[in-house]
Structure formats: structure tokens, C-alpha cells
Structure 1
């Protein structure tokens, strides 16, 4: 007799989400040295709950990174209602910089995931270009963004800005985002 998949209880989903949020923050700030029990305690769950969801440290790191990536990519669509595509793109860039900073902080932890044979970045490029593509298409429709740039162009420039956050100041990064937005919203008839 076939069985139907069991639905995850809402409290179990909430526990999982809390664990992922805390883990991403802890790994970004403290690296690999934090004990899983400390992450579980900070998330307000037992260590058994942590291991039930994530049997290894690498599984927890990978899931925390994937969650952050998914959230920043979904934000592109979430920001569009009620504002122009240019405004949504500017707001998304700020979220992207938070994501990139956290990812940089998690680099040691993500390297441990890679060493275990898992590629946490396998879907990153496709998800990020999809998110930027959503914003660029909306900008083409509402006329607020240039149509002669690609998602890859924007992501490459955002990567450079993310680098400046790690090695410069947040103020400098803000100025660079403003410059990028000026380029993306440049009046195309001025040529």
C-alpha cells in the first residue's frame, strides 16, 4: 500500500528555519569553531533537533548557505510590487551586499563543505542571474532600467562592490552602488 509523504509540522519548519538563520550568522561571525550544541541552544532548540534536521556539520553549513542564497534571490521578486524596477533593484543590491558579506564570513565553513565532496555553489550562478534578470526585465517593462546590460554584467559589478565591503567601508560600497545604479538608469537617448 503506497504511503503519502508526511507533512512537516509548522513548529518543525520554524525550528529548521531558526537553526539555519542562527547557523549562518554564527558560521559567518565565528567560523567552524562553534559547537553544534551552541548553535542549537542559541536557536532555542535541543541538539537532537539540530541533528535530526542536519546530521553533519557540513549539511548544516550547506543548508544555511542555500537558505541565505534563496532568500536573497526571492527578494528580487518581493521588492517589485509597489515600486519601480530601479527602486527595487537598488534595494535588492543592498540585500545582495548583506548576503555577500555573510558568504564571505562563511568561507572557511563553506570550504569544509567543499572538502566533504558537496558543491554549495552549484546553483548559485543560475539563481542569482535569475533574480537579476527578473529585475532587469521589470526595468525594461517600466522603462526605468537600461536594456543593454545582462544579469552577468550586473553580478560581476556587484561582486566588485561586495569586495569593497570586505576591504573598504560600507560608505564606499554605498557610493559604488549609487554609481552602478546611475549606469543602469542612464538615459539611453543621451548618446
Structure 2
């Protein structure tokens, strides 16, 4: 188990890298990431010897956050609201992923298992939200989690000029479509 200061450094590096990748792309100088994290470049390289290690770690952390968020939202909100809040969080995740997109599709073996990791973690978490919302009668009952994830990702492509307003509006329309034909299931 890493020491507390090492854990803090790791968390700071991952958050700094996510922000830098989102803003400047994955080719941002490591000095910028280390500076944002408040650590030296030697600390960054100790945790992530290769840039691909850092990119994969940022992506995996985002997957874990999106997955955990689904469970929390399902416990804290009504089914329809939980699904909508999760979709909005996933939209922000996609914005982060666009900063990583070129690297993730580069063929580098460091990224080869990330899609499987994403699908085996995020899809079941979303399926639970979809099941709850369908049982409550707030969405239709034939929504596949991977299809919804893909649709949200496609609707979340950055608009010219940046910003997430367009993506939020488009995902809202998609969710409205899921409500069409909804029926509460008898239990």
C-alpha cells in the first residue's frame, strides 16, 4: 500500500493530467502536468515511466469514477433523475476522453484492454440504472447500455468553439426519447 504522500502525489498527477489532456491534448509537456500537480517531473516519471502509462491511468480512473457514480446516483436519487445525472456525468467523461482519443486509438498496446475494462465496468453499472428507471416506468425497457453509451458519446462530440452546452442539449433530447413508450412494470 503506497504511503499517504505517494497516494496524494498520484491523485494530484492523475487529476492534473486529466485537466491538461482535456485542455491541451495528450502531447502536453510533462513539465506542465507535474507543475499543475505540484510535484517534480521525477515524481511523475516514477509513477508513470511512459506517457502511455499516464494516459491509460487517467482513462481507467475516469472509468472507475463513472462506474462508482452510477451506484451512488442510484442510491441517492429517483430512477429517472439518477439516469439523467449519470448521462450528464458521462458527457463530461466523453469530453475528457476526446483529449485522449488519438492516443487511445493509436494501436499502442498500453491501451488494448481499456475498452474491455470500460465495457465490463461501466455497462453493468448503467444497466442497473436503466433497469430501475424502466421498472419505475420513466423510460422504455429495451435500452441496451452499450448502445446508450455509444449514443451519448456520439452526441457529445465537441462543437465548434468548444463548450458542453450543445452536448447537454443533445443528450437531453436523447433521454426524452427514452421516455417515449415507457411503462411501469408490474412487480
TM-score by length of 1: 0.81
Q: Is the 8 A contact 1:101 1:166 kept in 2?
A: no
1:11 aligns with 2:16: no
* 166 and 117 in structure 1: CA distance in 2 versus 1, 3 angstrom threshold: same
Q: Distance in 2 between matches of 1:10 and 1:41?
A: 20
Match of 1:98 among 82, 92, 103: 92
Cα offset for 1:61? Answer: 1.1
**Partner residue in 2 for 1:88:** 82
How many residues are matched? 181
Q: What secondary structure, in the 3-state scheme, does the structure 1 residue paired with 2:140 have?
A: coil
Task: List gaps (5 residues or longer) in structure 1.
Answer: 1-6
Task: List gaps (5 residues or longer) in structure 2.
Answer: none
Q: Distance in 2 between matches of 1:108 and 1:141?
A: 39
* 186 and 109 in structure 1: CA distance in 2 versus 1, 3 angstrom threshold: same
Q: What secondary structure, in the 3-state scheme, does the structure 2 residue paired with 1:106 have?
A: helix
Tell which deviates more after alignment, 26-35 or 60-69. 26-35
Q: What secondary structure, in the 3-state scheme, does the structure 1 residue paired with 2:66 have?
A: helix
Superposition pairs for residues 114-129 of structure 1, below 5 Å?
Answer: 114-115=107-108, 118-119=111-112, 120-129=114-123
TM-score by length of 2: 0.83
Q: Quote the RMSD (CA, aligned, Å).
A: 2.3
Match of 2:142 among 141, 148, 156: 148
Q: Distance in 1 between matches of 2:71 and 2:9?
A: 26
Match of 1:107 among 96, 101, 106: 101
Q: Distance in 2 between matches of 1:9 and 1:43?
A: 17
Match of 1:30 among 24, 28, 31: 24
**Partner residue in 2 for 1:134:** 128
* 172 and 33 in structure 1: CA distance in 2 versus 1, 3 angstrom threshold: closer
Tell which deviates more after alignment, 97-106 or 44-53. 44-53
Deviations 1:96-141 (A, max 9, x none): 11111111122233345x3355413332223231221021122234
Cα offset for 1:78? Answer: 1.4
Q: What secondary structure, in the 3-state scheme, does the structure 2 residue paired with 1:152 have?
A: helix
